[in-house]
Chain A
Amino acid sequence: MPTLIRAEGLTKYYRRPRRYEGAFGGLRTLITRQYDEVRAVDGVDFTVSDGELVGYLGPNGAGKSTTIKMMTGVLVPTGGLIEVDGTAPWRDREKNAMHIGVVFGQRSQLWWDLPLVDSFTLLGKMYRMSEADYRRRLDGFIDLLDLGPFLDRPVRQLSLGQRMRGDLAAAMLHEPSILYLDEPTIGLDAVARDRMRDFIAEMNRESGTTIVLTTHDLVDVEALCNRVVFIDKGRVLYDGSVVDLKATYAPHRTLVVQLASGFTAARAAELLGPEVPGDVIADEGPTLRIRFEANRISAQEIISAVTSRCPVTDLSLVEPELEDVMRTLYGNRTIAV
């Protein structure tokens, strides 16, 4: 598939006025024009192909939003290359704008004081849609996102979930080929989240919309993304599939063993001894956990070792969560002061 977005050595430095502490600190801050340089994005490389759904992940302040703003054309990079569909987005914003859609979860593009439908009318004219196209698309989104019940209500009276659905429709009304979603599920309840995920997956699958998604909700990532780009402190730490990410950063699986009554976990641990590779964690009572590296020993071997020595009533195997991966990745950070 052809490359749609290309970033090479992409860099963004911000300059912040240096602040002084203590007496007259505020005055000094005002007078001395000294700046601290903040490296929000520091040499990022990645590409996104046409039709992909990529998760762009990282802790708070990692540089995700800054990258998105450079991809959309809001921010001009300090250095490096950013190309969307062959052109630099910031150089020709208005042309770029015609084929991108943007949702910033913490902000709304809807007209606060007016009925929701008024925002759509404006967008219809802004993107120069024909009346027929506009009607057809709006009707489509009214169905898909169930906007009907609050279409005529002022945006300020909508619930967060309703507003987000409105914002999604607003971002997609002109049928963009690329959709940037910056934390689209933030603050939503479980039902609204599911609905949002279904919609995103459908847009990607049915309309072939290329989607770049940032989120802190790892369920979003597991449900939606085949590929993730993980950044921290402005640099790419990982770029690849979710499966490989887990295999690399969370190779451990855990076998949970329920022992027959009267048999304590401590005793079982004693019986198993050092023969079983992996960490044996003996809880109080009849539950035993064995954490092992999936690429060094198979689950089969461990299970037969356990069942041959102890009376077992139940077994379950716990796969690593993406959250564990994140913890490992976050834990490796050198803490910046």
Chain B
Amino acid sequence: MNAGQATCSDGPLRNLPAYLQIVRGRLRIAMTYRQNALFMLAVVILQIFILRKVWTALYGEAGVVNGVALADVLVYLTIANLQSWAMQDLAVGSYLYSLVREGRIAFDILRPAGFVPQMLAHLVGGTLSMVLFATAALPLVALVGTLGPPASSAAFGYWLLSLFFAFGISMLLNLIVGLGAFWTTEIGAFGMLFTLVSQFLAGALIPLYFFPDWLRTVAELLPFQATTFTPVAMYGGQLAGSEAVQAIGIQLLWIVLLAGAVRLIWSRALHRIVVQGG
């Protein structure tokens, strides 16, 4: 296909073709297991439907609560849930757990490419396939939930930029959960707890502006809100102007902090690697 292109160059990008190949492989795996993904997607669409019913009932006759109209909340919830579903790719996390548990991690360590970049490539591929599924499901989502246009063209621009960083943050969070494999051998219950707590604190079930003050403070001190609330609130125009710029700055700060955390965790993990069995 790309004859003569992938030859030995020595720059920092010399392993890029390998990482792209991993992304491609992940996409193919996602296609192999598309029925599973579609089933999971159905669960999310059901969740969007239920949230719509619940919030419509909660609003009742009131047109506006805390300065937010029902229609805006419904658009927020629809986009937030679809987005956070696409970010919660636990497949790569459980892949990492299986690598450690079965001792296959030795093979990935023995590659002439870094281990963490390899895992990030897996995450990029996994997330990309989820985004593709979510995009394909948009017509159905519009039918079941509520979709609306962005508040303005500026809001749309902010949303796209912020969404990009949001994916970065959630990939780093997923990687940290995955690296937990070096300390415990099971992801099951912890993975579910992580999904639930992060979804809640990200504002996927209740928009952050409805949180009581203390809980909102807690949520704002954690990275999860930057994965969901920040971009979706920009889409709806609740977060605009200098506030939006500041929120993007906070996202970048989280990326730097979490990347540092990954570095630290990986160096400790490598130090204590004991390949299981044998």
A122-B21, A126-B111 known; A131-B106 Cβ under 8 A: no
Give per-residue flags for A5-46: 1 if the beta carbon is below 8 A from chain B beta carbons, else 0: 000000000100000000000000000000000000000000
Q: Which residues of A contact B17 (CB under 8 A)?
A: 125, 128
Contact: B275 with A74, CB < 8 Å?
Answer: yes
10 nearest interchain CB pairs?
Answer: A65-B278, A109-B107, A125-B18, A125-B17, A126-B18, A97-B112, A130-B7, A128-B8, A74-B106, A131-B3
What's the nearest-Cβ distance from chain B to residue A100, in Å?
Answer: 7
**Interface window among A113-121, A143-151, A249-257, A278-286:** A113-121
| Segment 82-96 of A: residues with Cβ below 8 Å from B | 93-95
A104 touches B (CB below 8 Å): yes
Q: Which residue of B lies closest to A89 (CB)?
A: B110
Q: Which residue of B lies closest to A111 (CB)?
A: B25
18 A–B contacts from the bound complex (CB under 8 Å): A14-B274, A72-B110, A74-B273, A75-B274, A76-B271, A93-B109, A93-B110, A94-B111, A98-B112, A100-B110, A102-B110, A106-B277, A109-B104, A111-B25, A122-B18, A128-B7, A128-B17, A129-B6
B35 touches A (CB below 8 Å): no
Contacting residue for B2 out of A95, A108, A126, A131, CB 8 A: A131
Give per-residue flags for A118-141: 1 if the beta carbon is below 8 A from chain B beta carbons, else 0: 100110111111110000000000
Q: Which residues of B contact A73 (CB under 8 A)?
A: 109-110
B267 touches A (CB below 8 Å): no
Contact: B22 with A127, CB < 8 Å?
Answer: no
Contact: A113 with B33, CB < 8 Å?
Answer: yes
> Interface of A with B (CB < 8 Å)?
14, 65-66, 69, 72-76, 93-95, 97-98, 100, 102, 104, 106-109, 111, 113-114, 118, 121-122, 124-131, 154, 182
> Interface of B with A (CB < 8 Å)?
2-9, 14-15, 17-18, 20-22, 25, 28-29, 32-33, 102-104, 106-107, 109-114, 271, 273-275, 277-278
A74-B109, A107-B103 known; A113-B32 Cβ under 8 A: yes
State A98–B111 Cα separation when bound (angstroms).
Answer: 8
Pick the most buried of B109, B110, B113, B114: most chain A CB atoms within 10 A of its CB.
Answer: B110
State A97–B6 Cα separation when bound (angstroms).
Answer: 19
Q: Which residues of B contact A114 (CB under 8 A)?
A: 25, 28-29, 32
Q: Which residue of A lies closest to B274 (CB)?
A: A14
Contact: B104 with A131, CB < 8 Å?
Answer: no
Per DSSP, are chain B's interface residues mostly helix, strand or loop, or mixed? loop
Q: Which residues of A contact B22 (CB under 8 A)?
A: 122
State A211–B5 Cα separation when bound (angstroms).
Answer: 33
What's the nearest-Cβ distance from chain B to residue A16, in Å?
Answer: 9
What's the nearest-Cβ distance from chain B to residue A127, in Å?
Answer: 6
Contact: A107 with B107, CB < 8 Å?
Answer: yes
What's the nearest-Cβ distance from chain A to residue B240, in Å?
Answer: 44
State A95–B10 Cα separation when bound (angstroms).
Answer: 13
State A74–B271 Cα separation when bound (angstroms).
Answer: 10
What's the nearest-Cβ distance from chain A to residue B57, in Å?
Answer: 43
Q: Which residues of B contact A107 (CB under 8 A)?
A: 102-104, 106-107
What's the nearest-Cβ distance from chain A to residue B125, in Å?
Answer: 12
What's the nearest-Cβ distance from chain A to residue B3, in Å?
Answer: 5
Q: Which residues of A contact B106 (CB under 8 A)?
A: 69, 72, 74, 102, 104, 107
Q: Which residues of B contact A127 (CB under 8 A)?
A: 112
